[in-house]
A and B are shown apart, each in its own frame.
Chain A
């Protein structure tokens, strides 16, 4: 190993130790734990534009990469309490089990081109977001008085909601000659769209007699950047390290501020307000290593760390600014409509994967993943179903033509059941921080079917 490579090795070792020493717990808004096997800092696909721009140097030529994922998620929330006792003729309106069965579809596209010591990447990515829509409570279907209860016992935190943060990314990588070391930088135009519908009462409790609804539709653009290093420590990429950083959309300060419409109905007709959503967003560190002990086998270990502790609350206000205190609450009621206390903590995930190359053109692979939760029991709610996830991933990549490769994979993500009975603090606050209690038991499981196509052309 040359002197330059030794220097880079020392740098990687130091950074990797720093990462491992940090508490691992990842999710929140992050979807990395649900991503296919190639979403790592040592990827060889054009998704490197997001995961590690320096890894664009992993493959030569011109490449395009089209991926399509079909997801199916099931989950339950068994609400344990009703802050306001259920009326005798509305038993089961607030307490009891809710279920969700949701399909999702995700098509993404990226491309990369390498010329000389440089590579350029472009892509569309969806590293943050998710959705949830709870099944109806048939017991209250067509109920003449309690017209809201049909939307399940989860409705006080979420009837349905989607959060989509899409990155339009351009990346550039440079490989330092004769070192195996590549450096990369990326810029992201980030589009976020948040829509949600949930039950709400004028008194912010879960009184079914005063039940109303809110519907928020909020969106906006922001920017962020990524940095990465990628190092092929041994020739023919037999040992590769990758490390990347993605800054939070909206920057490190107050974070995102997006504008939209809030519609409410407290039983007296639809009201409309122009609102702003203020919240911080985490930055993301990813690291990974892949090695080929023998030509037919590749092993990969990768991880991510999200600084989710910056997410203290989500403030919906009629004015542009909303100061969220460190405890997640908002002190001033001036112009604030609602504040959702979050108090998340830093989180992360790990992935251990292995591939066997049946032939040079046919790879089979398997992976196990761990994705830690960012959401403490105190602020867990069914609107953002989140827990420690264990994942299993199997798949295959096959060259189907001289320039075309087909990839197929299946991933099962199992959320370890959560029970926060007696722990929820959401109803402990006064307005505008108050929402009904989310005490209860939670389960979830998600299947992800992924199909991808890679086009590869020598230049």
Chain B
């Protein structure tokens, strides 16, 4: 009952009728305001990465433990093995590497599950890098955000590689943009990630942002 289907001309505003669309829009405004304030605070406290770049491809390639921290569920990072392979190990300056994203089981945080997702890491001489149009698949058993639900997403990762030119890169990190495509559309802008080189069989603690990897050994 209490229908408003035929009541467009009646004084709902006066009576305070229910308006779900307005409630949704009000929330959006509040979120925008909060995010704007957060961005301002970050700008005041943050600083650009400096003193990076010049790493040859050979020092970047290897196996990493990858932590993707989605902005929409920061407490439940998605974990993966991340293989980086140099197309030309001696390359310096601008070059490309192949990457492979292999989500790991929630149960043990180390067993890769599902079809690996390939991508291309483009590195510039100043150390900045991007992995654009990175189509990733996360099977339900590797999905801590919604267990047993498969995720498909298209993300764009970017960051800056900082390390010694003659030693294997220990960590890299950055920010993520993009969109979850399945099971429902979700904007993933504002997400972050961190990657730690795997040494031996040890699985490191997840570090899902530059702030976290900066504090790592």
Contact = CB atoms under 8 A, between A and B. Distances in A.
Interface string B7-28: 1001010011111110110011
A431 B74 contact: no
Contacts of A196: 20
A130 B16 contact: no
A63 B11 CA distance: 29
Nearest to A191: B5
Interface string A39-60: 0000000000000000000000
A210 to B, nearest CB: 5
B73 A129 contact: no
B186 A266 contact: yes
Nearest to B184: A337
Contact of A162 (B20, B140, B186, B190): B20
Interface string A141-184: 00011011011000000011110111000000000000000000
B70 A106 contact: no
A269 B71 CA distance: 11
A273 B186 CA distance: 9
B150 A131 contact: no
Contacts of A197: 20-21, 23-24, 27
B18 A102 contact: yes
A336 B183 CA distance: 7
Contacts of B10: 105, 107
A166 B76 contact: no
Please tell me the size bucket of the interface on A.
Answer: 35 or more
A149 to B, nearest CB: 10
A34 B150 contact: no
Nearest to A214: B24
Interface string B57-77: 000000000000011111110
B4 to A, nearest CB: 6
A144 B34 contact: yes
A130 B186 contact: no
A412 interface: no
Please tell me the size bucket of the interface on B.
Answer: 35 or more
B20 A195 contact: yes
B189 interface: yes
A268 B1 contact: no
The prevalent SS among residues of A at the interface is strand
B18 A333 contact: no
Contacts of A248: none
B78 to A, nearest CB: 11
A166 B20 CA distance: 19
A271 interface: yes
A265 B73 contact: no
A422 B41 CA distance: 43
B140 A267 contact: no
A11 B80 CA distance: 71
A269 B149 CA distance: 22
Contact of B140 (A102, A147, A273, A333): A333
Interface in A232-283: 262-273
Contact of A201 (B30, B34, B73, B187): B73
Task: List the 8 closest pairs (A to B, CB-CB), nearest first.
Answer: A31-B1, A104-B2, A215-B24, A164-B3, A133-B18, A197-B20, A147-B30, A266-B72
Interface of A: 31, 34-35, 71, 73, 101-107, 124, 126, 128-133, 144-145, 147-148, 150-151, 159-162, 164-166, 191, 193, 195-197, 201-204, 207, 209-210, 212-217, 262-273, 318, 333, 335-337, 430-432
22 contacts: A103-B17, A104-B3, A104-B4, A126-B5, A131-B2, A131-B4, A148-B27, A150-B30, A160-B23, A161-B18, A164-B2, A164-B5, A213-B24, A214-B24, A215-B21, A266-B186, A267-B31, A268-B72, A269-B189, A271-B186, A333-B150, A335-B183
